[in-house]
Amino acid sequence: MIDPKILRTEPDKVRKALRDRGGDVSLVEVFVSADEEWRKKLFEAEQMKSRQNDISSKVAGMKKKGEDTSKLFEEMKAQSQEQKKLAEDAGVLEKKAKDILLIIPNLPDKDVPAGKDEKGNKEIRKWGDITKFAFKARAHDETGEKLGIFDFKQAAKISGSRFVVYHGLGAKLEMALINFMLDVQTGQNGYKQVMTPFMVNAESMLGTGQLPKFEEELYKTSDDLYLIPTAEVSVTNLHRDEILTADVLPLKYASFSPCFRREAGSYGKDVKGIIRQHQFNKVELVKFCAPENSFDELESLTKDAEKILQLLKLPYRVMELCTGDLGFGSAKTYDLEVWFPSENKYKEISSCSNFTDFQARRANIRFRRSSSSKPELVHTLNGSGLAVGRTLAAVLENYQQENGSVVIPEALRPYMKAEVI
């Protein structure tokens, strides 16, 4: 969440940020009103408690002298009830202000381009030549089904729509991509591999910003655990309520996990094939760093994700998201978009974001610059390195042959022990 001090001292700055993001500007007024009332009630409650203490001391003195204290005792009793009511009212207002604060998005960085939606995104760079064929390019799902490596009917029988069963070399290709991505990030880019739980508690979802705003997108178990929509959640919460030392920063983690998303409201968008499913695999990159380094760390994280596409020789471009297309917690985001020949366009395969102190404030993740310095909030970053299913789909599309086969990228052949599917 954003610093409440900014809302108190610079409400116009937050209003502008919300307008730029297409957000609800009225949240500022609701927060400011509740926050001011809370602090007023809290002050009154503290004053009342101080008066109670004064009366209590006076009663004690009168009792020693044998004087009648009944009237003061009744006054103290009345004030105690009033003080209790003020404290309860203050608690309700404090919760209201905090609840509003939890649904206000992060403030975009000053360098983020202004725009209402994805049309305002800015192309930063391209890599690789667009794949061209002497034949009509087939969609990845058509290729996968004809090769017998995808089975959507079996998946629908088992689970419903938006699931897939991988067979044979399809399953092997998925696993090869996971291991390849992890090997590159840990062996070449300096990330530490972690495996974290795929189910988390509400505090973890709150810490990274999925709750309370996006609860409808989440799968929840009967014992109040949530299936993670991304390993970002469990990895970021590794250090919830901790104070790190400056010498360990930046911390860099790479984590594979299945991801679970309801995809509520996205029906009709990328529903064909394996681009947007309820369950998919992903390798996630997560960083914790000092505030002054976070935007440089975003640049390096983005390049770490790009490296996978370069090694696979998949053409892609890097897009900087505009204010209106930023994710809820992000201050700045780069999307990597890979080329899909069958659609003759680029499609998102990774989002790399700097959350500044937005998640750290929610999850109480801090660090000390020295043993004598005060704790400060870290900055958190994350990005897909990459979404595995989408990478597999991009391989099927860009490496397809006229006879229906698919050539396996050289970087994956040591994992596949095969050259062609």
Catalytic residue check, 261 = yes
User: What SS3 string covers 12-68?
Assistant: HHHHHHHHHHCCCCHHHHHHHHHHHHHHHHHHHHHHHHHHHHHHHHHHHHHHHCCCC
**Locus of tokens 């029906």:** 267
Catalytic residue check, 26 = no
Mean pLDDT of 363-369: 98
Percent of the chain whose pLDDT exceeds 90: 85
Q: Could you tell me which CATH number the domain at 118-416 has?
A: 3.30.930.10
From CA 344, how far away is CA 329, in angstroms rounded?
31
Residue 264 has pLDDT above 70, yes or no: no
Which residue among 21, 162, 366, 390 is the active-site one? 390
Predicted confidence at residue 53, as pLDDT, reads 75
Task: Judge if 4-101 and 118-416 fold alike in CATH terms.
Answer: no
Which residue among 276, 368, 369, 413 is the active-site one? 276
pTM of the model: 0.93
User: Cα 295–301–307 angle (5° rounding)?
Assistant: 145
Predicted confidence at residue 400, as pLDDT, reads 98
Q: Which CATH class is domain 4-101?
A: mainly alpha
Predicted confidence at residue 33, as pLDDT, reads 95
Catalytic residue check, 368 = no
pLDDT in tens, 370-408: 999 999 999 999 999 999 999 999 999 999 999 999 999
Which residue among 82, 94, 215, 348 is the active-site one? 348
Mean pLDDT of 71-80: 76
How many CA atoms lie within 13 Å of 97's alpha carbon, on the beta-carbon side? Answer: 21
Which residue among 261, 361, 362, 366 is the active-site one? 261
- Burial class for 313, CB neighbours closer than 10 Å (0-12, 13-18, 19+): middle
Which residue among 351, 353, 366, 397 is the active-site one? 351
* Domain extent listing, the chain: 4-101, 118-416
Instruction: Name the average pLDDT for the chain.
Output: 94
